[in-house]
Amino acid sequence: MIQLKVNGVEQSFGSEPEMPLLWYLRDVLGLTGSKFGCGVGLCGACTVHVNGQATRSCVTTMSNVAGKEVATIESLEKNGLHPVQKAWMEINVPQCGYCQVGQIMQAVALLNGKKKPTDREIDEAMSGNICRCGTYQRIRAAIKAAAGEMA
Amino acid sequence: MSAIENVSRRRFLTGGIIAAGALVLGVRYYRKLSSGDKLPHDTNADHATLHPSVYLGIDPDSTVWIVASRSEMGTTSRTTLPLVVADELDADWKRVKIEQALGDSRYGNQNTDGSHSIRSFYDAMREAGATARFMLIQAAAKEWGVPATECETDLHVVVHRSTNRSAGYGELATAAAKLPVPKREELKLKPKSAWRYVGKGQVSYDLEALVTGKAIYGTDARVDGMVYASVEHPPVLGGKVKSYDDKEALKVAGVRQTVPIDPFQQAPAFQPLGGIAVIADNTWAAFQGRKKLNISWDNGPNETYNSDAYKNELRATSHNPCKVVRNIGDADAVFAKGGKVYEADYYVPLLAHASMELMVALAEFKNAKATLWAPTQNPQAVQDIVSKELGISKEDVICHVTLLGGGFGRKSKPDYVAEAAVLSQKVGRPVKVVWTREDDIKFDYYNAVASMYMKAALGADGKPTAWLQRSVFPPIPSIF
């Protein structure tokens, strides 16, 4: 039996230890905010936080997260939207939006670790998150706007 | 546009406009994953008190329902077209609720492919808004006993300035619904100077849902009792299963059964590609079970197709004179003079669309009706292919359009939706088909290949003096 916390709630999972976290979140818990894009950790659409670190849930197995704390986009709103979500709305970042949950989770992890990232640090942190619509300029602008708010 | 207008008029004239009790559901339509007790093709706009167009309804509580009949995949047309209606209606955007249309021919063309949603539907949206505004003004004028020409609209109200009277759209809806729908010629569209929203900048109606993960894409659709499917398609287009062994697949935890899907007949034409589906309790189990299938294939007539050989054939063809489609001057004479002459071959390979959201669809076949939830660019094409595949009428195919995580034309082809429908019929439960990224790249309706040969001569000033261009490619219908 694998014990873990998802969005602050204790969960136990007695099935396949090799199941990627993504499918546990989406199909078992019904938390569909995190998205399937490639299944091999190359696109970033499935990004969640594991013990605060941005993690590709599609290549992270359930046995990897035993005893750990998982946070998904569904946990981000506390007394309203998270500053990063607000910035995403302010800058009007999304187009189709499919990758944006992963982008936001990646950006939140970046800003939790670094209050004022430089352009280079932003690009490095975000380089594994692909947007097929090409919203990269606005993503960078939104991260800077959120950094100002969170500082 | 006149065709669309006619459809909506006919719908109006044949009734179904003034429902006794207006249904006001405080949910966004695409989140309501059940057909409930309503007629499946109806919208809240259809049931609204004032309903002069298939695109629009107004209820006594002032809610304006606007139907988005085109698919949303990131261009915000789902916001923009309703915004045009709201502008012409002088509606308060905050009191507008957008509903996503089901696949239904009464909306006209819903194939959201070719980048023309705004161009093709702008006038229809203006007219829908202007029609409702006309009727609301008439209703107010009648009630106040003043000429309609003295009345005008302001934000969500009709006003008669000289007597300082005003009435909200909600208050007027019931009276307005009793009036005849005006003819197109009677409508007076707002001048550009009076536009409230168009051209002013407006964010997506779905923006907050997009940044909170609450937006529902095809991949997020869920119904009770659904199972998941992953399909091993024939490795060669047009191939068939000779035999298969699913013993190991069935041992995978969570795998329920395997189901063969018939190979397509003749050209694929959006039919399911055939193969073996693994049905499981979750997506991962379906993927794992699929890896354990042991299938022997008959690769069919395309077995010997080789992209390199085909490329060389196209290239060789481009090196010979082809059908002339444009000829100005005498390029050959210029080339014969010699000087600086350049030649080049260009080749565009098969390209997959590769939308971020994969091909995915949820189907529930029950009581001889198929209900589908899919990120489709073309819900009416879904109705066509599913009705053919399941042997039911098009009216019994109810296609809900979710948000699309990108489409790029790929999702105007409904093969993956038909696959879910066929499986639900065979399995007797709701089935969600999930393609992998590998499936997406391997089984796309590719952008066709093209080979080009170019030759140019440059004059002494370095500018071209002659230009020959030959282009060789299979025609688009060859895909279908």
Question: Predicted confidence band at B37 (pLDDT cuts at 50, 70, 90)?
Answer: very low
B419 contacts: CB under 8 Å, gap ≥ 6? B229, B231, B261, B272, B273, B277, B361, B433
Tens digits of residue pLDDT in B50-66: 999 999 999 999 999 99
Report d(CA B158, CA B322) in Å as an integer. Answer: 66
Report d(CA B380, CA B283) in Å as an integer. Answer: 27
Instruction: Tell me how close the Cα of B160 comes to any Cα of chain A, in angstroms.
Output: 38
Residue of B nearest to A43 (CA): B356
Tens digits of residue pLDDT in B66-80: 999 999 999 999 999
Residue B28 pLDDT: 29
Contact residues on chain A for B203, CB-CB shorter than 8 A:
89, 92
Q: Which two tokens stand for residue B122?
A: 């702008």
ipTM reported for the complex surpasses 0.85: yes
Residue B477 pLDDT: 78
**Helices then strands, each counted (H, E), chain B:** 13, 19
- B373, B379, B380, B384: CA torsion to nearest 10: -50
Which one of A27, A95, A131 has the shortest CB-CB distance to B228? Answer: A27
Chain-chain contact of A43 with B356 (C-beta, under 8 angstroms): yes
Helices (H), B231-390: 247-251, 283-291, 307-318, 331-336, 379-390
Residue B410, pLDDT above cutoff 50: yes
Residue B8, pLDDT above cutoff 60: no
Chain-chain contact of A36 with B434 (C-beta, under 8 angstroms): yes
Tens digits of residue pLDDT in B299-319: 999 999 999 999 999 999 999
Residue of B nearest to A28 (CA): B282
B256 or B477, greater pLDDT = B256
Q: Which residue(s) pair with A3 in the sheet? A: A12
Residue B89 pLDDT: 98
Report d(CA B326, CA B324) in Å as an integer. Answer: 6
Residue B56 pLDDT: 96
Residue of A nearest to B403 (CA): A96
Contact residues on chain A for B357, CB-CB shorter than 8 A:
35, 37, 96, 98
B67 SS3 class: strand
Cβ burial B28-48 (10 Å sphere, 16+ → b, else e): bbbebbebeeeebeebbbbbb
C-beta separation of B117 from B412 below 8 A: no
Which one of A28, A39, A98 has the shortest CB-CB distance to B405? Answer: A98
Report CA torsion sign: B350, B353, B358, B359. negative
Residue B267 pLDDT: 85
Chain-chain contact of B73 with A101 (C-beta, under 8 angstroms): no
B273 SS3 class: coil
Report d(CA A30, CA A50) in Å as an integer. Answer: 18
Residue B118 pLDDT: 96
Residue B338 pLDDT: 84
C-beta separation of B407 from B71 below 8 A: yes
CATH 3.30.70.360, applies to B2-207 = no
Residue A60 pLDDT: 98
- DSSP classification of residue A24: I
Counting every residue written for chain A, the total comes to: 151
Residue A90 pLDDT: 97
**Helices then strands, each counted (H, E), chain A:** 5, 5
Tens digits of residue pLDDT in B93-132: 999 999 999 999 999 999 999 999 999 999 999 999 999 9
C-beta separation of A52 from A114 below 8 A: no
Tens digits of residue pLDDT in B259-268: 999 999 888 8
C-beta separation of B389 from B56 below 8 A: no
Cβ burial A61-96 (10 Å sphere, 16+ → b, else e): bbebbeebebbbbbbbeeeebbbbbbbbbebbbbbb
Helix (H) or strand (E) holding A148, with range, is: helix A136-150
Report d(CA B412, CA B405) in Å as an integer. Answer: 13
Which one of A19, A40, A93 has the shortest CB-CB distance to B284? Answer: A19
Best of B284, B351, B411 to substitute, by most chain A Cβ atoms within 10 angstroms, is B284
Question: Predicted confidence band at B16 (pLDDT cuts at 50, 70, 90)?
Answer: very low
Chain-chain contact of B211 with A36 (C-beta, under 8 angstroms): no
Report d(CA B459, CA B323) in Å as an integer. Answer: 27
Give the residue extent of every domain in chain A: 2-74, 83-150
Residue of B nearest to A82 (CA): B212
B253 or B3, greater pLDDT = B253
B200 SS3 class: coil
Contact residues on chain A for B213, CB-CB shorter than 8 A:
32-34, 72-74, 101
Contact residues on chain B for A19, CB-CB shorter than 8 A:
282, 284-285
B92 SS3 class: coil
Give the residue extent of every domain in chain B: 2-207, 307-352+447-479
Residue B344 pLDDT: 98
Residue B234 pLDDT: 97
Best of B211, B226, B402 to substitute, by most chain A Cβ atoms within 10 angstroms, is B211
**β strands within B316-383, DSSP E:** 340-348, 360-366, 369-374
CATH number of A2-74: 3.10.20.30
**β strands within A66-113, DSSP E:** 69-71
Tens digits of residue pLDDT in B123-165: 999 999 999 999 999 999 999 999 999 999 999 999 999 999 9
Percent with pLDDT over 90 in chain B:
88
Report d(CA B223, CA B84) in Å as an integer. Answer: 34
CATH of A83-150 among 3.40.1210.10, 1.10.150.120, 1.20.1260.10, 1.10.10.10 = 1.10.150.120
Residue B39 pLDDT: 55
